[in-house]
Amino acid sequence: MTAAQTINGALRKLPIWPIYLIGALPPVWYFYLGLTGGLGVEPIKEFEHRLGILGLQMLIAVLAVTPLRNLTKVSLIRFRRAMGLLTFYYIAAHLAVWLFLDVQIAAQIWADIVKRPYITIGMVGFVLMIPLAITSNNLSVRKLGARWRKLHKLVYPIALLGAVHFVMLRKGWQIEPLLYLAGIALLLALRLPILRRVGWPMRPARQG
């Protein structure tokens, strides 16, 4: 038995519900830090930023599941749904902080969405996430069939939009957002058909 088989055997024994439980805690912790002065002199901005970064990091983790399996044979496929839903949770919380704690004024919110490209891009990415979150269940997989896979390929443009949103938000060419953009671009590039033609071991992945 290979190391990958041993790891996969252990992973199959792990329940999925603790991922949801543990994954739900970071926003709560950040909120507590904000109330107790642990987020610096601009707690709302920092709270908003941390949630956005957390969502982007989880999105990268979701994209990395298939390349990880193809490179190492270690499979996290059965955890990918939970990871995707947590991504939506973090980004929705990020948006909620911006709407209800940061801007607050409805007219200003709409003006920002229309006039600020980085906010427009971020909103488009969030809207595209909604059908993925709604259909992340076994019933939708059965009802939609092959269309479900096509729908969930929206995660690719969503990831790019999230990374571009971060780059534009920071203004200028700062290293951190560019690294996120480069990481997402690499994970997407690994899925290109040309790599399959030269032997990249891509296989259809099952949702679990």
Domain presence at residue 47: yes
Is residue 206 one of the residues assigned to a domain?
Answer: no
The pLDDT score that the predictor gives to residue 108 is 87
Confidence of residue 197 (pLDDT cuts 50, 70, 90): low
Q: Is residue 122 part of a domain?
A: yes
Q: Quote the pLDDT of residue 172.
A: 75
Q: Kindly state whether residue 39 falls inside one of the protein's structural domains.
A: yes
Average pLDDT, rounded, for the chain: 90
Q: What pLDDT, on the 0 to 100 scale, is given for residue 94?
A: 97
* Bigger pLDDT: 190 vs 131: 131
pLDDT above 80: residue 203 = no
Q: What is the crossing angle of helices 43-72 and 25-35, to 10°?
A: 160
pLDDT 10s digits, 46-62: 999 999 999 999 999 99
Structure tokens at 132: 């993925």
Domain that holds residue 164: 3-197
Judge whether 204 lies within some domain: no
At residue 26, what are phi and psi to the nearest 5 degrees?
A: -55, -45
In a domain, 193, yes or no: yes
Q: What is the DSSP string of 168-187?
A: HHH-S--HHHHHHHHHHHHH
Specify the residue for token string 């949770």. 89
Number of domains in the chain: 1
Q: In the structure, what pLDDT confidence band is assigned to residue 144 with cuts at 50, 70 and 90?
A: very high
Is position 208 within any domain? no
Most confident by average pLDDT, 67-71, 158-162, 195-199, 201-205: 158-162
Band (pLDDT 50/70/90 cuts) for residue 205 is very low
* Confidence at residue 57, expressed as pLDDT on a 0 to 100 scale: 97
pLDDT of residue 208: 38
User: In one letter, which amino acid is 144?
Assistant: L
Please report whether residue 205 resides in a domain.
no
Per-residue pLDDT at 104: 83
Cα distance between residue 39 and residue 30, in whole Å: 8
Rounded alpha-carbon distances, angstroms, from residue 195 to 74, 160, 189, 198, 201: 20, 20, 8, 5, 9
The whole-number pLDDT of residue 200 equals 55
Angle in degrees, CA 135, 138, 144, rounded to 5: 60
Q: Is the pLDDT of residue 103 over 70?
A: yes
Report how far apart the first and last C-alpha atoms of the chain are (Å, whole number): 24
